[in-house]
Chains A and B, each alone.
Chain A
Amino acid sequence: MNNKKMYYSRLRRGLISAFFIFILVPTLFVSWVTIYNLRKCAIQRIENSGVRMAEDRTDAVSQYLNKQIILLSTLAGMYPIKIMGDQPHLDQLFRSVNERGDVVDLHVIDSAGKQLAYVGPYRSSIEGKNYKDAPWFKEAMVAGKHVSDVFMGYRNVPHLVVAVTDPLKTYVFRATINSEKFNALLLRAQTGPSGDAYIVNRHGEFQTPSLQGTIELAAAEKNLLEYHEGTSTRTIGPFLYTSSWMKDGQWLLVVKSKISDSLGTFNERRNNSLMIITASSMLFLGAAVLLCRYMVGRLEQDDRRRADMDQQMVQVEKMASIGRLAAGIAHEINNPLQMITNQAGWIEELLPDEDPEAVKNLGEYQDAVTKIKYHVRRAGTITHRLLGFSRRMSAEKESVSVNELLEETVSFVENEAVNHNIIIEQLLDKNLPTTMTDGPQLQQVFLNLLNNCLDAVEQNGRITITTKADDTSISIEFADSGPGISAEVMKQIFDPFFTTKDPGKGTGLGMSICYDIMKKLGGKIEVKNNKVGGAIFTLTLPLKHLSESGQGDRRTSGYDESIY
């Protein structure tokens, strides 16, 4: 029984595992692939957005610087050195061109590097200085225009300058770019709280301050300084770098964004998807578990039913075997019985011919003959019952006299009852009609119930069998004087394999078989406790007449009558 339970439990677990492995795992794998691809798409979008941002900011910075160069070049083209070197003129010019505050100061330096005029906040620290050796001065004199890297200069403050010459290169007109305004151009490029945007020169020196306060490029970030055309995207650690060279390859504009910061929408969608997948997986798993339990339950039930039927078949086979055996025995016994009765009869016939005076024990002989005949009759009754039993074991539906069947069944257990001092009382309705049913099966029910009653009573008691009929059914009641049935046992009494007997003494199938047989015969079996003690089993059998079954009646007792 436990093995069976373990088997079904294993089967249940196996099925659930199979569901999990063959359906849930692929689902999870597909989900993972989908999420992975979604993440890739999201990162691609971040890259595209970074590229657009880098290009946009590169254009903005270039335009800003070009604007300054054009402004300075225009002014340098308009005014000769004489006018431009005039301090009041430069003051006036500064006020008129710097309404937006794009520049910090303006310088006018002659071709020899001598400062001619200056307007701006650093006059004291740079007045009278010579710039002929300054790199930006040299570059401007050579190229006609120049935008410097950030440098400290005489003022000792990091700044960058835009310098142009007049068309005749008689002077250099220089403007110091307002760092705040210039740096502000990159503010828009920050993406997320960890995002950054800055410009570095070829040596990796910051031309604009890092928005995150970084002062030096990390070792891995130095790889960004490799020259490339257009805009490049690279992932270093958790960051995505988009860079674009500008100012003729002298500056590199870098837009740095933390991937996880930019995956907000993706994360939200991923979490939603995960939630849906988890919920549906749980739902599915739950459904699979329920389905498995249901299926295994059904299987268990079917197996039980089959085992039950097999047991019944075995029982029927057993009874049929007993029947055949009984027929054989009856055959062997009947012939000698016939001889005994013949011989006894012959003695009985001859005795009256004897002289009563001469035969001393004539009366005794006659008495002995009578007793022999009586006992032969008894033995004959038994062999005829055995024959009847044997015949019914192979019979199908027949017209059955329930009373006779009961009497016959009682005779099987009579000895056992007498041995245990149990009285079997038969209150049989004399007018009980016969009914078309399966006699052997019904007899098996009677036998099972009688055995159960005997087991329940054990010793010194009474079993009362009552039969009665109405228009549609016959009811047979087995009441015993045993201890009755507890409520707990009552619930399971007709379950297969349920037994109250000691291990090895009962299969637990007797009552279950009775239940099944009665169901099959179209009847029912009920049990209740008797108010005065003991249990009452009530069988109800439908009353079917010969015409309903279409089979011929058999003489079940006719030959008995013809014998004696």
Chain B
Amino acid sequence: MALFNVLVVDDEQEFRDMTIKRLSKRDIIAEGAENGEMAIERIKRGDIDVVLLDVKMPGMGGVATLREIKQIKPLIEVVMLTGHASVESGIDGMKLGAFDYLMKPMEFESLLEKLSEAYERKRIQQDKIEQAQIKRDMARPS
């Protein structure tokens, strides 16, 4: 499995810690953010490939955070996490560019699979952009 950076954004510390621990066990670099604001701060510093984003959080909600992420780092893939009857929020998130959404309770394998798929897409997108850049550079007269 390719190594990539995941940012787990959830207000529940236990969930955050456990998810980070399990991802790390699979050599995925995982970090946590308690809320939307902290997540944005961390993303701005770079090196994040996929964000696991809880929809319902105090302060800046999941959907607002997603909107912000897509503005500052459009390439970062976001997997939404809905814990209750806010399926609509998950769907709204997908309309705003989220990769997919997951409903709690979910098994870790599902989460892992979804995150990997998200990273895979991000990587493909990034490759396309880089190749386009190389083409442009090569086309430029030296």
Q: Nearest B residue to A373 by beta-carbon distance?
A: B107
A170 to B134 Cα, complex, angstroms: 182
Give the distance to chain A from B52, nearest Cβ to Cβ, in Å: 12
- Report A374 CB to chain B, min CB distance, Å: 11
Contacts of A330 in B (CB 8 A): 84-85
A337 in contact (CB, < 8 A): yes
Q: Give the chain A neighbours of B110 by CB distance below 8 A.
A: 562-564
Whole-angstrom distance between the alpha carbons of A562 and B101 in the complex? 8
Binds A, one of B19-27, B70-78, B120-128: B19-27
Q: How far is the CA of A87 from the CA of B52 in the complex (A)?
A: 168
Q: Does A342 contact B (CB under 8 A)?
A: yes
Residue of A nearest to B17 (CB): A342
B107 contacts A387, C-beta separation under 8 Å? no
**Cβ of A496 to closest chain B Cβ, rounded Å:** 34
Q: What chain A residues lie within 8 Å of B12 (beta carbons)?
A: 335, 339
CB 8 Å contact bits of B1-29 with A (1 = contact, 0 = none): 00000000000101100110110010000
Map CB proximity to B onto A95-111 as digits: 1 under 8 Å, 0 otherwise. Answer: 00000000000000000
Q: What separation, in Å, do the CA atoms of A377 and B109 have in the docked complex?
A: 13
Q: Assess whether B104 is interfacial by the CB under 8 Å rule.
A: yes
Q: Which residues of A contact B101 (CB under 8 A)?
A: 559, 562
Say yes or no for B34: interface residue by CB 8 A criterion.
no
Q: In the assembly, what is the distance between CA of A345 and CA of B112, in Å?
A: 12
Q: How large is the interface on A (under 10, 10 to 19, 20 to 34, 35 or more residues)?
A: 20 to 34
Partner of B106, one of A327, A338, A349, A387: A338
Closest Cβ–Cβ distance, residue B23 to chain A (whole Å): 11
Given A334-B104, A387-B85; A349-B15 close (CB under 8 Å)? no
CA distance A343 to B12 in the complex (A): 14
B103 within 8 A of A: yes
Q: B111 CB to closest chain A CB, in angstroms?
A: 9
**Which of B15, B22, B103 has most chain A Cβ within 10 Å?**
B103
**Interface membership of chain A positions 368-392, coded 1 if the CB is closer than 8 angstroms to chain B and 0 otherwise:** 0000010011011001100100110
For residue A562, which residues in chain B have a CB less than 8 angstroms away from its CB?
Answer: 100-103, 110, 114
List residues of chain A with CB within 8 A of the CB of B87. Answer: 387, 391, 559
Q: Assess A345 versus B83: contact at CB under 8 Å? Given A559-B101, A562-B114.
A: no
Give B90's nearest chain A residue, CB to CB: A559
Number of contacting residues on B, CB 8 A? 25
Smallest CB separation, B19 vs chain A (Å): 7
Q: Is B21 within 8 A of A346, CB to CB?
A: yes
Pick from A340, A377, A390, A559: contact of B103, CB under 8 Å: A559
Minimum distance in angstroms from B65 CB to a CB of chain A: 19
B114 touches A380 (CB 8 A): no
Interface centre among A342, A377, A384, A563 (most CB of B within 10 A): A342
User: Does B105 count as interface, using CB distance less than 8 angstroms?
Assistant: yes
| Interface presence of A341 (CB below 8 A) | yes
CA distance A345 to B25 in the complex (A): 12
Given A327-B84, A559-B103: A342 touches B18 (CB 8 Å cut-off): yes
Distance from B90 Cβ to chain A, minimum over Cβ atoms (Å): 8
In the complex, which of the residues A337, A345, A379, A384 has the most CB atoms of chain B within 10 Å of its own CB atom? Answer: A345
The answer to whether the Cβ of A234 comes within 8 Å of any Cβ in the partner chain is: no
Query: How far, in angstroms, from A391 to B91 measured CA to CA in the complex?
Result: 14
Q: How far is it, in angstroms, between the C-alpha of A157 and the C-alpha of B114 when the chains are bound?
A: 151
Whether A341 lies near B105 (C-beta < 8 A) is: yes
CA distance A340 to B106 in the complex (A): 10
User: Which of the residues A327, A338, A342, A559 comes within 8 Å of B22, measured between beta carbons?
Assistant: A342
Contacting residues, chain B, for A335 (C-beta < 8 A): 12, 15, 83-84, 104
- Beta-carbon contact of B19 and A391 below 8 Å: no
Q: How far is the CA of A338 from the CA of B18 in the complex (A)?
A: 11
Query: Given the complex, which residues of B lie within 8 Å of A52, measured CB to CB?
Result: none
Min CB distance A3 to B, Å, is: 43
CB nearest to A350 among chain B residues: B25
Q: Are B103 and A384 in contact (CB under 8 A)?
A: yes
**Is A331 part of the binding interface, using a Cβ–Cβ cutoff of 8 Å?**
yes
Task: Tell me the smallest distance from the CB of B63 to a CB of chain A, in Å.
Answer: 17
A391→B101 CA distance, assembly (Å) = 17
Contact A341:B107 (CB < 8 A) given known A346-B21, A349-B22, A562-B114:
yes
Task: Given A334-B83, A335-B83, check contact A346 B22 (CB 8 Å).
Answer: yes
Q: A563 contacts which chain B residues (CB < 8 A)?
A: 102-103, 105-107, 110
Cα-based distance from A383 to B100 in the complex (angstroms): 21
Using CB atoms, name the residue of chain B closest to A326.
Answer: B85
Are B18 and A346 within 8 A (Cβ)? Answer: yes
- A345 and B100 contact, Cβ closer than 8 Å, known pairs A330-B85, A334-B84, A338-B15: no
The answer to whether A376 and B105 touch (CB under 8 A), given A331-B83, A331-B85, is yes
Complex contacts, B85 vs chain A, CB 8 Å:
327, 330-331, 387, 390-391
The 8 Å CB contact of B108, one of A342, A379, A380, A384, is A342
* In the bound complex, CA of A373 to CA of B105 (Å): 10
A380 CB contact (under 8 Å) in B19, B25, B105: B105
Cα A468 to Cα B1 in complex, Å, equals 46
Cβ–Cβ < 8 Å partners of A391 in chain B: 85, 87
Give the complex CA separation of A18 and B106 in angstroms: 73
CB distance from A339 to the nearest CB of B (A): 6
Contact call B84/A342, Cβ cutoff below 8 A: no
B108, A345: Cβ atoms closer than 8 Å: yes
Which residues of chain A are near B19, meaning CB under 8 Å? 342
Chain A residue with Cβ nearest B114: A562
Taken together as a complex, chains A and B put the C-alpha atoms of A435 and B101 apart, in Å, by 26
Nearest residue (CB) in B for A335 is B83
Give 7 A-B contacts (CB < 8 Å), ordered by A residue: A338-B15, A339-B14, A376-B105, A391-B87, A559-B102, A562-B103, A563-B105
Closest 7 CB pairs of A and B: A331-B84, A337-B105, A327-B85, A338-B105, A338-B104, A345-B108, A342-B18
A residues in contact (CB < 8 Å) with B = 327, 330-331, 334-335, 337-343, 345-346, 349, 373, 376-377, 379-380, 383-384, 387, 390-391, 555, 559, 562-564
13 extra interchain contacts, Cβ-Cβ under 8 A, other than A335-B83, A338-B15, A339-B14?
A: A327-B85, A331-B85, A338-B104, A341-B107, A346-B18, A346-B21, A376-B105, A390-B85, A391-B85, A391-B87, A559-B90, A563-B103, A564-B107
